[in-house]
């Protein structure tokens, strides 16, 4: 068993209950549900699941969820939540882009919320996601517009948001079709450069793999 430090566990508990974050996450999850229209028999990949807030909103809409993250501590925290509610249809798994894709099954739906900007090679991510989708599958990606590096601390290695048209082109080159992108929510937090509270727009991109 992997143990989480008490301080980190408390921090994750605060993260899970912060009203602004919960509202933002709910808006993203509902937009994803509306646009992917699961019928109840799908297998879903939640990439960068964190504490599983969005995965849990899909709980009763799909057959199974594989909730992957690169953080063992996040996954341990999620597993405790699942155990507490006797949830067995969400499987936490340590995995990330660059790991062996054969560890995973094929998926009907992939969701990625505020995680793609942490992946160094966006083109590689698009190709891996395409390979993991079944024919006729769909991917939903929520992420930030260009943010001038203000939404994260300076020491964090991330993309500073995405130009929507550029991201759509990357996924088109990977093989995706019928790509649509819309604004769905905002992230409210202090700018890492000015310390002033700022709202960062969040878009949702939907893309399909042809049958």
Contact between 20 and 188 (Cβ < 8 Å): yes
Q: What does the alpha-carbon distance between residue 111 and residue 93 come to, in Å, rounded to a whole number?
A: 15
Query: Residue 125, SS3?
Result: helix
Measured between alpha carbons, how far is 139 from 127 in angstroms, rounded to an integer? 12
Q: For the packed helices 19-36 and 6-17, what is the interaxial angle rounded to 10 degrees?
A: 60
CA 75, distance to chain mean position in Å, is 14
Residue 159 pLDDT: 84
Give the orientation angle of helix 122-132 with respect to helix 164-173, to 10 degrees.
50
- Residue pLDDT, tens place only, 47-81: 999 999 999 999 999 999 999 999 998 999 999 99
Q: What is the pLDDT of residues 69-116, one digit of tens each?
A: 999 989 999 999 999 999 999 999 999 999 999 989 999 999 999 999
Q: Which residues pair with 205 in a beta bridge?
A: 141, 181
Q: Under a CB-based contact definition with an 8 Å cutoff, are residues 180 and 172 in contact?
A: no
61, 54, 80, 70: which is closest to 119 by C-alpha?
A: 70
Q: How far is 178 from 9, CA to CA, in rounded Å? A: 41
| 148-207 pLDDT tens trace | 766 666 666 678 899 999 999 999 999 999 999 999 999 888 777 787 888 889 999 999
132-151 pLDDT per residue, tens? 999 999 999 999 998 876 66
The number of beta carbons lying within 10 Å of the beta carbon of residue 93 is 14
Instruction: Categorize the per-residue pLDDT at 16 as very low, low, confident or very high, splitting at 50, 70 and 90.
Output: confident
Indicate if the pLDDT at residue 5 is higher than 70.
no
Q: Quick one: pLDDT at residue 1?
A: 41
On the question of pLDDT at 40 being above 90, the answer is yes
pLDDT number for residue 136: 98
């Amino acid at each position: 068993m992997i143990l989480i430090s008490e301080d980190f566990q408390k921090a994750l508990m605060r993260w899970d209950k912060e009203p602004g974050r919960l509202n933002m996450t709910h808006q993203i999850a509902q937009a994803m549900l509306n646009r992917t229209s699961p019928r109840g028999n799908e297998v879903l990949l939640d990439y960068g699941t964190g504490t599983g807030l969005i995965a849990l909103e899909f709980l009763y809409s799909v057959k199974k969820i594989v909730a992957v993250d690169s953080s063992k501590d996040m996954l341990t925290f999620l597993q405790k939540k699942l155990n507490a509610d006797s949830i067995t249809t969400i499987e936490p798994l340590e995995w990330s882009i660059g790991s062996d894709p054969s560890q995973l099954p094929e998926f009907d739906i992939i969701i990625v919320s505020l995680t793609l900007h942490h992946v160094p090679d966006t083109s590689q991510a698009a190709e891996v996601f395409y390979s993991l989708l079944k024919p006729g599958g769909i991917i939903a990606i929520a992420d930030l517009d260009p943010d001038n590096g203000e939404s994260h601390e300076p020491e964090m290695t991330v993309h500073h948001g995405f130009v929507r048209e550029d991201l759509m082109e990357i996924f088109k080159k990977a093989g995706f079709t019928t790509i649509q992108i819309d604004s769905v929510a905002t992230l409210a937090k202090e700018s890492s450069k000015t310390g002033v509270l700022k709202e960062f727009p969040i878009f949702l991109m939907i893309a399909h793999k042809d049958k």
